[in-house]
A and B are shown apart, each in its own frame.
Chain A
């Protein structure tokens, strides 16, 4: 195999090192391909398919974030099929989850003229906020299932394996073992998951409280009273009488 690969992206000839992905090749050529689930820090899984491009000679659109370039590849990043897929994926996403804290996805929705109300029958995923630990909250109504949190909790960073999935298909949700509260799980609260979450589904608890209108002083006072409650509980459990 040669060290460099020559290919064509949107009529532009590009030379990139062997082993590059289509996404990298396009970046090098200054061509923007949108991504949602992709993160430099995580293993790419090709989940969101928003980066799908048309590669001549293949039946389906190819996810640019994972497909490696081959010599002579001819790629179209904005063909009609590509645009239809991207627009529809964004429309389906908007009808499924709360994207209010996903400015990048909102920008894509603008760019692809996606109709936010395309699917009036859509049953959105609206689980309630899980506030089960002092460090971060989990608002899965905002979860787009990009898997980054699961991956950094596992081999992509932390090797802690506190979270995985419950359900499957449209009903998939990120979950602990038997949905136990986070402190009962193997979670070490490193917050790697919070660090890679693109939609605000995972956020530091203090940020969440601030957003709910508490002042910093109130937040810090809240802590103390929570502590006192906990302390009382401990005392009660120590002296059941």
Chain B
């Protein structure tokens, strides 16, 4: 029997649930993870990733020494180097000086617009705050974004338009207080496993009724009272038809509408056309089901809506999210315990990275960059001459890559992210990456994006540094160092500070923006001085239990649910809506709709989980296809198929399952050897700039085993 040398409490680095962990360590080896049963977040429950998925830390392929490419890379000729022989091991000084030299060279030549950075929703609040501070304060650019653009951007935009804030309004665990909840565009059993447990318990133990609206027959359908199997992209018609019914049947909350909302008339008029018949025609959902769902939600005592990326990842993602917000406002199912508008955030710290200003249009705390007062405040915070900060909105992730060309973005700094897996239309992304003049990768592994880099800065993993994550229900929780950084790797915040000082020296900046932190606690305190929602958060307050933002003062207990009294914008605003079809609709050539997403065993681009034993559980990409479609196309369970869109083609095995509906196929995007994002479209939502990951049209044809293996070989070997 093994006794732990120490057991360290910390927060899970995978999804937005933010489960509390206890890491059991011996000889710097984390051999076991438990969770305290009194945890308010997860009550001792974990999923496979949280309990077993941390061995990537020790993976032999992890890079723990700074690296510089042996072969100098030039724009247009840039190549991917997975193999360590293409890299030279260097000292930190050499790596950072080299990086500083190159960044300064480009900045001094081409100015702010040439500089861009991808922050990271996996890194801590402190890391993200510092990285955006670095690019804003030192390079004077707002070209700062992270993967929230690729997930909930449209939810955030819609919530800001309608309510003036952008987070889950309620605590996930409050689902047990609902009597009716809608789950749409979300597959929590795989993507938010612990919230799924709470939802199952809400149905099984607390008698809640669940309405699932989803193009996939997800596991939660087994717990649903109603299941509305919609066609991808028909969200606005279906939810607006529900509003239509609620309106026609007088089931709306007149008092709430009068007291707390505006623009109801215009909205009501726009709902006229969304009859259940119309919605049925577009969505394929029986009108009776739509009517029943409308009545069930409207007449609930406590109704809540939970959604994930099926709503925002669309060219009309903002409208999709608004259709949900409209429903909640119409029925008054917001601002109370057990109700709410709850976008389930994907990454462990996507909420925190957004809060910390890792976004092109906002300083930390969602303070618009094009607002003079805000800019002045941050100039003061960072010791910058008045007018020094850039007042122009920066570019979003997808726009940054699109702007890579002479006269556009020349230098890109990537902390932790992997656009070469996560961006849509990867063939296009590849071209853009090749055109960069200078690329910095700061990560644990040389992933598909880092392989393009000039310099690789080895970062410490989450178990090797201190900091905080903010989970999906706005709870700021501690991340603790459990083991020393492996090899020469360093915490992200330290790397950033070290590099920023070197850059400042080269730029002869008279005032330093300040990089002499001794501990991440000081970073969070600095942010809290200028971000009211974080003003009351101190490390010593969250040693045991995290606090839910807003926490405006040091004695404020945190905020389990929002909008009890008022909405941040005063009155919540109804938005009239129109039906807009997807950018691509099925046709004879591309008859099937491809939806992408995650599976339980893997995480996003796979940088972590494919370097974990987790990969043994789910070793290869599989395409879900309905038995009827499979039969029609002559495809058997497990047989290879070629999937082709207007942008690319991949070969992988089919999984014949009723989990997906007729006409829709699903491919997870974790697998480089069959990268789903080679197929997806880079058409964007006009307001939120989010790509349409959930609806590309494709053609599926049987392939041979040879093609499957051929694909394996033609791709670069390994990711290392």
Please tell me whether chains A and B touch each other in their complex, using a CB distance cut-off of 8 A: yes
A residues neighboring B (CB under 8 Å): 40-41, 100-101, 133-136, 152, 155, 157-159, 183, 188-192, 194-196, 200, 203-207, 210-211, 216, 219-221, 223-224, 226-227, 230, 234-235, 238-239
- Whether the Cβ atoms of B55 and A41 lie closer than 8 Å is no
Taken together as a complex, chains A and B put the C-alpha atoms of A223 and B61 apart, in Å, by 12
- Complexed CA–CA distance, A152 and B42 (Å): 13
A204-B31 contact given A135-B52, A220-B59, CB 8 Å threshold: yes
16 extra interface residue pairs, beta carbon distance < 8 Å, beyond A100-B1, A188-B189, A189-B48: A41-B37, A133-B617, A134-B52, A135-B48, A135-B51, A136-B52, A189-B52, A190-B46, A192-B45, A195-B34, A203-B32, A204-B52, A206-B55, A216-B58, A220-B55, A238-B708
Query: Would B617 and A195 count as touching, CB distance under 8 A?
Result: no
Interface centre among B33, B197, B613 (most CB of A within 10 A): B613
In angstroms, Cα B46 to Cα A41, docked, is: 13
Q: Is the CB of A235 within 8 A of B709?
A: yes
> C-beta contact mask, B35-71 vs A, less than 8 Å → 1, else 0?
1010000011111100110010011100000000000
Quick check: B46 and A206 within 8 Å, CB to CB?
Answer: no
Across chains A and B, which 5 residue pairs bring their CB atoms closest together, nearest first?
A191-B51, A216-B29, A189-B48, A134-B613, A134-B616
Given A100-B1, A191-B51, A211-B2, the answer on whether A159 and B60 have CB atoms closer than 8 Å is no
With A190-B46, A227-B615 known to touch, is A207 a contact of B32 (CB < 8 Å)?
A: yes
Given contacts A204-B32, A206-B55, contact A211 B47 (CB under 8 A): no
Q: 21 A-B Cβ contacts within 8 A?
A: A100-B1, A134-B617, A135-B52, A152-B45, A158-B45, A195-B35, A195-B45, A195-B46, A203-B32, A204-B33, A204-B51, A204-B52, A206-B29, A207-B2, A216-B28, A216-B29, A216-B58, A223-B616, A230-B616, A238-B705, A239-B705
Kindly report which residue of chain B lies nearest to residue A42, judged by CB atoms.
B37
> When A188-B600, A211-B2 are in contact, do A41 and B617 touch as well, CB less than 8 Å?
no
Q: A41-B37, A238-B705 are in contact. Are A188 and B616 (CB under 8 A)?
A: no
Shortest distance from the beta carbon of B202 to any chain A beta carbon, whole Å: 12
Alpha-carbon distance A226/B613, docked complex (angstroms): 10
Residues of B within 8 A of A207 (CB): 2, 24, 31-32
Complex: A216 Cα to B620 Cα, angstroms: 26
Docked-complex contact B616 and A226, CB < 8 angstroms: yes
Q: Given the interface contacts A134-B613, A221-B60, does A159 sit within 8 Å of B197 by beta carbon?
A: yes
- Chain B residues engaging chain A, CB cutoff 8 angstroms: 1-2, 24, 26-29, 31-35, 37, 43-48, 51-52, 55, 58-60, 189, 193, 197, 200, 204-205, 600-601, 613-617, 619-620, 705, 708-709
With A192-B45, A230-B619 given, is the CB distance from A211 to B1 under 8 Å? yes
* Contact call A40/B31, Cβ cutoff below 8 A: no
Interchain CB contact (< 8 A) of A41 among B43, B204, B708: B43
Cα of A235 to Cα of B52 in the assembled complex, Å: 27
Measured CB to CB, the nearest residue on chain B to A100 is: B1
- Min CB distance B2 to A, Å, is 5
CA distance A158 to B48 in the complex (A): 12
Chain B residues contacting A219 (CB-CB under 8 Å) are 29
Closest B residue, CB atoms, query A194: B51
| Least CB separation from A182: chain B residue | B617
The CA-CA distance from A32 to B708 in the complex, in Å, is 64
- Could you say which residues of chain B place their CB within 8 Å of the CB of A133? 617
Q: Is the CB of A223 within 8 A of B29?
A: no
Closest residue of chain B to A200 (Cβ to Cβ) is B1
Instruction: Give the complex CA separation of A203 and B601 in angstroms.
Output: 19
Q: Which residues of A contact B614 (CB under 8 A)?
A: 134
Chain B residues whose C-beta falls within 8 Å of the C-beta of A100 in the assembled complex: 1
Minimal beta-carbon separation of B597 from chain A (angstroms)? 16
- Complex Cα–Cα for A100 and B35 (A): 23
B46 with A191: CB separation less than 8 A: yes
Partner of A190, one of B2, B47, B613, B619: B47
CB A124 to nearest CB in B, in angstroms, measures 19
Chain A residues within 8 Å of B52, by CB = 134-136, 189, 191, 204
The answer to whether residues A188 and B197 also contact, given A155-B204, A211-B2, A238-B708 and a CB cut-off of 8 A, is no
Distance from A15 Cβ to chain B, minimum over Cβ atoms (Å): 25
- Measured between beta carbons, the chain A residues less than 8 angstroms from B600 are 188
Is B204's CB under 8 angstroms from A191's CB? no
Most buried by B among A40, A157, A226, A234: A157
CA distance A223 to B55 in the complex (A): 10
A111 to chain B, nearest CB (A): 20
Min CB–CB distance A229 → chain B (angstroms): 10
Return the chain A residue nearest B42 by Cβ.
A157
The number of inter-chain residue pairs (CB within 8 angstroms) is 110
Report the separation of the CA atoms of residues A157 and B46 in the bound assembly, to the nearest whole angstrom: 10
In chain A, what residue has the closest Cβ to B189? A188
- Determine the chain A residues whose CB is within 8 A of the CB of B27 once the complex forms: 216
> Are A239 and B709 in touch, CB under 8 angstroms?
yes
In whole angstroms, how far apart are the Cα atoms of A33 and B34 in the complex?
A: 26
Evaluate whether A210 and B45 lie within 8 angstroms (CB atoms) in the complex, with A188-B600, A220-B60, A239-B709 already known.
Answer: no
In whole Å, how far is A109's beta carbon from the nearest beta carbon of chain B?
16
Q: Is the CB of A195 within 8 A of B44?
A: yes
For residue B43, which residues in chain A have a CB less than 8 angstroms away from its CB? Answer: 41, 157
Query: What is the bound-complex CA distance between A227 and B189, given in angstroms?
Result: 27
- Minimum CB–CB distance from B108 to chain A (whole Å) comes to 44
Q: Tell me the smallest distance from the CB of B235 to a CB of chain A, in Å.
A: 27
Please tell me if the beta carbons of B44 and A41 are within 8 angstroms of each other in the complex: yes
B189 partner residues in chain A, CB cutoff 8 A: 188
How many angstroms between the C-alpha atoms of A189 and B197 in the bound complex?
A: 14
Instruction: Tell me which of B24, B34, B601 has the highest count of chain A C-beta atoms within 10 A of its own C-beta.
Output: B34
Closest CB-CB distance, B620 to chain A, in whole Å? 8
Beyond A41-B43, A206-B55, is A190–B48 a contact (Cβ under 8 Å)?
yes
Closest to B614 in A: A134
CB distance from B6 to the nearest CB of A (A): 15
Chain B residue contacts of A134, Cβ below 8 A: 52, 613-614, 616-617
A135-B48, A206-B31, A211-B1 are known contacts. Are A183 and B193 too (CB-CB below 8 A)?
A: no
A206's nearest neighbour on chain B, judged by CB, is B31
Residues of A within 8 A of B48 (CB): 135, 188-191
Is the pair A157, B1 in contact by a Cβ cutoff of 8 Å? Answer: no
- Say how far B290's CB is from chain A's closest CB, in angstroms: 28
Docked pose: A230 CA to B616 CA in angstroms: 8
> Which among B31, B51, B601 is the interface contact of A210 at CB below 8 angstroms?
B31
CB distance from B59 to the nearest CB of A (A): 7
What is the distance, in angstroms, from A68's C-beta to the closest C-beta of chain B? Answer: 20
Tell me whether A190 and B60 are in contact in the complex, defined as CB-CB below 8 angstroms, given that A41-B43, A227-B615 are known contacts. Answer: no
Beyond A221-B60, A239-B709, whether A101 also contacts B1 by CB under 8 A is yes
Specify the chain A residue showing the minimal Cβ separation from B615.
Answer: A227
Give the shortest distance, in Å, between A139 (CB) and chain B (any CB). Answer: 12
Task: Determine which of A190, A220, A239 lies in contact with B58 in the assembled complex, contact meaning CB atoms within 8 Å.
Answer: A220
Closest to A231 in B: B619
Residues from chain B with a CB closer than 8 A to the CB of A239 are 705, 709
Instruction: Name the residue of chain B whose CB is nearest to the CB of A183.
Output: B617
Chain B residue at minimal CB-CB distance from A207: B31
Question: What is the chain A residue whose CB lies nearest that of B704?
Answer: A238
**Docked pose: A210 CA to B47 CA in angstroms:** 22
Q: Which residues of B contact A189 (CB under 8 A)?
A: 48, 51-52, 601, 617
Residues of B within 8 Å of A194, CB to CB, are: 51
Give chain A residues whose Cβ lies under 8 Å from the Cβ of B705: 238-239
Q: Taking CB as reference atom, which chain A residue is nearest B640?
A: A238
Q: CA–CA, A190 to B59, complex, Å?
A: 21
Question: Which residues from A are CB-within-8-Å of B44?
Answer: 41, 192, 195-196
Which of A41, A100, A220 is most buried by chain B, counting CB atoms within 10 A of its CB?
A220
Residue of A nearest to B196 (CB): A159
CA of A40 to CA of B37, assembled, Å: 8
CB of B7 to closest CB in A, whole Å:
13
**A209 nearest in chain B by CB position:** B31
Cα distance A57–B197 when bound, in Å? Answer: 42
- In angstroms, how far is the closest chain B Cβ from the Cβ of A19? 17
Q: What's the least CB distance linking A75 to chain B, in Å?
A: 27
- Docked Cα-Cα span, A168 to B210, in Å, equals 37
Give A165 Cβ to nearest chain B Cβ, in Å: 21
